[in-house]
Homo-oligomer: A and B are copies of this chain.
Amino acid sequence: MDKNVRTDLALEVRESFPEDDVEIRGVELTEDFNEKENIRVSTVIIKDKKGSEAMQKPMGTYITIEAPELSKSDEDYHKPLSDEIAKYLRKLAGNLKKEEVLVVGLGNRDVTPDALGPQVVDNLFVTRHLIREYGNEFKEKNRLGSVSAISPGVMAQTGMETVEIIKGIVKETQPKLVIVIDALASRSVNRLNTTVQLTDTGISPGSGVGNNRKALNKESLGTDVIALGVPTVVDAATIVADSLTQYMEKSGFDEREIYQFVSEINEQQINNMFVTPKNIDESIKRISFTISEALNSCFSQQIAS
């Protein structure tokens, strides 16, 4: 994948290989389609180091839930999607001891497309303090899981790496599972606010394999970590690079020429810019509500689980 093209979605990395129908070694792809609700679920499993290198993502399971209607304001759609997310969350959390969960809402509450994490946390049903106050009987009677949550803010607001903050909190409060919610960058505008990615590999702000200093994962936190992300922006450099590439291919340029030109974009000022839709406020509000409902049904209210 081109260095100008940034995506946090494993599925898009997988798609970026020309050999669409060829098996990449160490990478498994399976698909599910809920026709009635128009929800497509792709599972990418990166099984070994080879696959990890090819995909430039850590080994683990990446579940992508594509729900094209999610960007529309249809209330009837909210429940089936929330159920679908909960179903795959349970699957991923399966072997993990999910009795005590800490939900971390990453991102900047003051930048609309980055406010997904904080808004999910705002809608969560938090129970840990209730269970500690009223005891286990209360917990079992109400079928509650123990949920705590925090929106730490971003480094420009706190002066601290998020991993420093969360590591400290995890050590003190000892959750069995950390769920990290974050707004992602995708490559394609079509995926914005219509896709949910779940993974058991955690999250690397700034991304890329190897940069473990900032990663929130089992290695850094000492706890199982599930990351749940929704692409809400496309990097401006990516959108320009993709448009150019598409044009240059059509015009018969060869790969080397394309690469050379596109790499110049990197130097430009658009590198700290992102692209997002004009109605991003409505999308973030709707999706964060859907996700927090999924989390509530999975962890706070373990009805018939």
A126: interface (CB < 8 Å): yes
Q: Within 8 Å of chain B (Cβ to Cβ): is A280?
A: yes
What is the CB-to-nearest-CB distance from A228 to chain B, in angstroms, rounded to a whole number?
18
Verify B275–A275 contact, CB threshold 8 A.
yes
Q: Which residue from B161, B170, B261, B270 sits with its C-beta under 8 Å from A275?
A: B270
User: Pick the contact of A160 from B148, B157, B239, B279 — CB < 8 Å?
Assistant: B148
Contacts of A50 in B (CB 8 A): none
Is A295's beta carbon under 8 Å from chain B? no
* 0 or 1 for each of A235-278: is its CB under 8 Å from B? (1 = yes): 01001100110010000000000000100010001101111111
Q: How many copies of this protein are present in the complex?
A: 4
Asked whether A7 is an interface residue with its Cβ less than 8 Å from the other chain, the reply is: no
B167–A158 touching, CB < 8 Å: no
Judging by beta carbons under 8 Å apart, are B157 and A164 in contact?
no
Residue numbers in B under 8 Å from A280 (CB-CB): 111
Known contacts: A173-B160, A240-B240, A243-B243. The answer to whether A269 contacts B189 by CB under 8 A is: yes
A residues with a Cβ closer than 8 A to B are 73, 108, 110-112, 121-122, 125-130, 146-153, 155-161, 164-165, 167-173, 189-190, 234, 236, 239-240, 243-244, 247, 261, 265, 269-270, 272-282
Provide the main secondary structure of the chain A interface. Answer: helix
Q: A241 to nearest B CB, angstroms?
A: 9
A129 and B169 form a contact (CB under 8 A): no
Q: Report the Cα distance A169→B232, complex, angstroms.
A: 29
Which chain B residues border A270 with CB–CB below 8 Å? Answer: 189, 239, 275
Contact B278 A273 (CB under 8 A): yes
- A128/B159 in contact, CB under 8 A: yes
**Complex contacts, A121 vs chain B, CB 8 Å:** 157
Q: Please tell me which one of the listed residues B112, B127, B169 contacts residue A110 in the complex, with CB atoms under 8 A apart.
A: B112
**Within the complex, which residue of B110, B244, B265, B275 is in contact with A281, where a contact is CB–CB below 8 Å?**
B110
Q: In the bound complex, do residue B159 and residue A168 qualify as a contact, i.e. CB atoms below 8 Å apart? A: no
> Which B residues lie within 8 Å of A147 (CB)?
159
Contact (Cβ within 8 A) A157 B149: yes
Residues of chain B contacted by A149 (CB below 8 angstroms):
157-159
Contact pick for A278, options B111, B130, B265, B282, CB 8 Å: B111
Q: Which of B126, B234, B261, B272 has a CB less than 8 Å from the CB of A247?
A: B261
Contact A281 to B129, CB < 8 A, known contacts A147-B159, A236-B239, A273-B189: no
